[in-house]
Amino acid sequence: MKFAELKLSAKTLKSIHGLGYEEPTEVQVKSIPKIIAGTNLVVRSQTGTGKTAAFGIGLIERIASGTTGKVLVLVPTRELAIQVCEELRTLGVYHALNVRAAYGGQKMMFQMRDLQKSYDILVATPGRLVDLCNRGVVHLSKFNAVVLDEADHMLDIGFRKEVFGILSQLPRERLTLLFSATVDAEVRQIASKYVPNSELIEVGEMRTVSSIKEERIEVLHAEKVPKLVEILNSHKGVRALVFARTKRGVIRLRRRLEDAGFRNVGMLQGDMEQPKRTRMIARFKSNEVSILVATNVASRGLHIEDVGLIVNYDEAEDRETHLHRSGRTGRMGAEGKVITFVSNDAPPPHTGGFRRGNQGSSSHGKRPMHYGRR
- 295 near ligand AMP, rule: CB under 6 A: no
Render 309-322 in DSSP notation, one character per residue: EEEESS--SSHHHH
- 53 near ligand AMP, rule: CB under 6 A: yes
Cα–Cα dist 97/100, whole Å: 10
Asked if residues 163 and 148 have their Cβ atoms less than 8 Å apart, the reply is: yes
CB of 284 to ligand AMP, least distance (A): 14
Fill in the per-residue mask, 327 to 366: x = in contact with ligand AMP (CB under 6 A), - = not in contact: ----xx----------------------------------
Which range in 41-49, 117-125, 126-134, 243-251 contacts ligand AMP by CB under 6 A? 41-49
Helix (H, G, I), strand (E, B) or coil at 355: coil
Any idea of the CA torsion for 250, 252, 258, 264, to the nearest 10 degrees? Answer: 20
Length of the chain: 374
CB of 4 to ligand AMP, least distance (A): 13
Which value, in Å, is the radius of gyration of the alpha carbons in the chain?
Answer: 22
Asked if residues 103 and 82 have their Cβ atoms less than 8 Å apart, the reply is: yes
Fill in the per-residue mask, 314 to 333: x = in contact with ligand AMP (CB under 6 A), - = not in contact: -----------------xx-
Size of the site for ligand AMP (CB under 6 A): 16
Residue (90 or 264) nearer to ligand AMP, CB: 90
CB of 72 to ligand AMP, least distance (A): 18
Residue among 264, 62, 274 nearest 175 (CA): 62
Helix (H) or strand (E) holding 28: helix 26-37
Residue (13 or 112) nearer to ligand AMP, CB: 13
Q: Looking at 49-198, list the stretches that DSSP marks H as alpha helix, in order from N- to C-terminal side.
A: 51-65, 78-91, 108-116, 126-134, 151-156, 160-169, 185-194
Which range in 16-24, 105-113, 251-259, 286-294 contacts ligand AMP by CB under 6 A? 16-24
Q: Which of 32, 36, 50, 294 binds ligand AMP (CB under 6 A)?
A: 50
Which range in 48-56, 59-67, 91-99, 133-141 contacts ligand AMP by CB under 6 A? 48-56
CB of 331 to ligand AMP, least distance (A): 6
CB of 300 to ligand AMP, least distance (A): 10
Q: Which of 21, 94, 164, 262 binds ligand AMP (CB under 6 A)?
A: 21
- 303 near ligand AMP, rule: CB under 6 A: yes
- 24 near ligand AMP, rule: CB under 6 A: yes
Render 280-307 in DSSP notation, one character per residue: HHHHHHTTSS-EEEE-GGGTSS------
Residue among 138, 184, 136, 128 nearest 159 (CA): 128
Cβ neighbours of residue 164 under 8 Å, at least 6 residues apart?
190
Residue (51 or 128) nearer to ligand AMP, CB: 51
Residue (179 or 313) nearer to ligand AMP, CB: 179
Residue among 10, 55, 9, 16 nearest 32 (CA): 55
- 47 near ligand AMP, rule: CB under 6 A: yes
Helix (H, G, I), strand (E, B) or coil at 54: helix
Fill in the per-residue mask, 107 to 146: x = in contact with ligand AMP (CB under 6 A), - = not in contact: ----------------------------------------
CB of 181 to ligand AMP, least distance (A): 10
- Site residues for ligand AMP per CB under 6 A: 21, 23-25, 28, 47-53, 303, 305, 331-332
